Amino acid sequence: MNAPSDVAALARAKAGATVELAGITKRFALRRGEVVTALESFGLSILPGSFVAIVGPSGCGKSTLLRLIAGLDRADHGSVRIDGEPPEVAATGHRIGVAFQDHALLPWLTVHQNVSLPFKLAGMPADRSRVETLVAMVGLAEFAEARPPQLSGGMRQRVSIARSLALKPDLLLLDEPFGALDLVTRRALNLEMQRVWESLGTTTLLITHSVDEAVQLADRVVVMASRPGRVHATFDSHLARPRTRATTQGPEFTALVRRVADALDDAMSGDGAQHVRAMASREP
């Protein structure tokens, strides 16, 4: 198989979904009648085909936000729209792909079978050509018949990302997909993820704790503050693509990382820092 040609055949010229979040508030009831506000008056617009990364302190509502966009939960107030419709519409139409930190691969299935699984769950015949192309795209053509226990952590995450793209989603949601990996593997997969995104043009939202990762991958980096979760600052990235290892060593990259990190430190000061300390004090 000529992977580059097949990848080109799958590309859709940055035709991903538009995401609009307006006035999002989400609360959770705790024991003893306590209520925590995970998100309050949260607003965000994501352009079609763009790559947006969200960073913020633990407990600021990043994963809650992703679940709302994926249609896995509903906001108490405000609206979430994907191409002007509720996320449930996009989810039902298999237009949303999700990859989590836990790859959740079925250990008894091969790489090819795991990537084919979304077709089965959707009641559709598997598109063998697309599955083979995605497996090749993430660099695992030689491991198509291997099973998850035979793969490294980084390879399993590649399978997870390929699986999330199987049904040609217009929107890809990534919740700390590389968070459990070692630094060397994580850097390699950042380059891999960038290449896949540039090939397919799927609108992508990444949740991450790594400022470097956010700046390397995204067109726009959103810094969240907590108590309640809200947008603290946003940064547009004009770094040239593709962003190579040389890019991450350049002064423009370093300066943007410093600005985002400073904003994150600022977001964690005051109430944010108190919340982090409070959460840490509850841990055994």
Candidate from 27-31, 38-42, 235-239, 263-267 with smallest mean pLDDT: 27-31
Single-letter amino acid, residue 95:
R
* Residue 195 reports pLDDT greater than 50: yes
In-domain check, residue 4? no
In-domain check, residue 238? yes
Task: Assign residue 236 the CATH number of its domain.
Answer: 3.40.50.300
- The pair of structure tokens assigned to 171 is 């929107």
pLDDT band, very low/low/confident/very high, at 22 (cuts 50, 70, 90): very high
pLDDT band, very low/low/confident/very high, at 6 (cuts 50, 70, 90): very low
User: What angle do helix axes 153-164 and 128-137 make, rounded to 10 degrees?
Assistant: 140
The listed range with the strongest mean pLDDT (92-101, 106-115, 151-160, 189-198) is 106-115
pLDDT at 158: 87
In-domain check, residue 244? yes
pLDDT at 180: 67
By residue range, what is the domain housing residue 24? Answer: 15-102+171-282
pLDDT band, very low/low/confident/very high, at 179 (cuts 50, 70, 90): confident
For the chain, the domain total comes to 1
* Residue 5 reports pLDDT greater than 50: no
pLDDT band, very low/low/confident/very high, at 264 (cuts 50, 70, 90): very high
Closest CA to 233 of 262, 202, 263: 263
Task: Tell me the average pLDDT across 197-216.
Answer: 90
Say how far apart CA 204 and CA 184 lie, in whole Å. 23
In-domain check, residue 186? yes
Positive or negative, the CA dihedral 7, 10, 13, 15 is negative
In-domain check, residue 180? yes
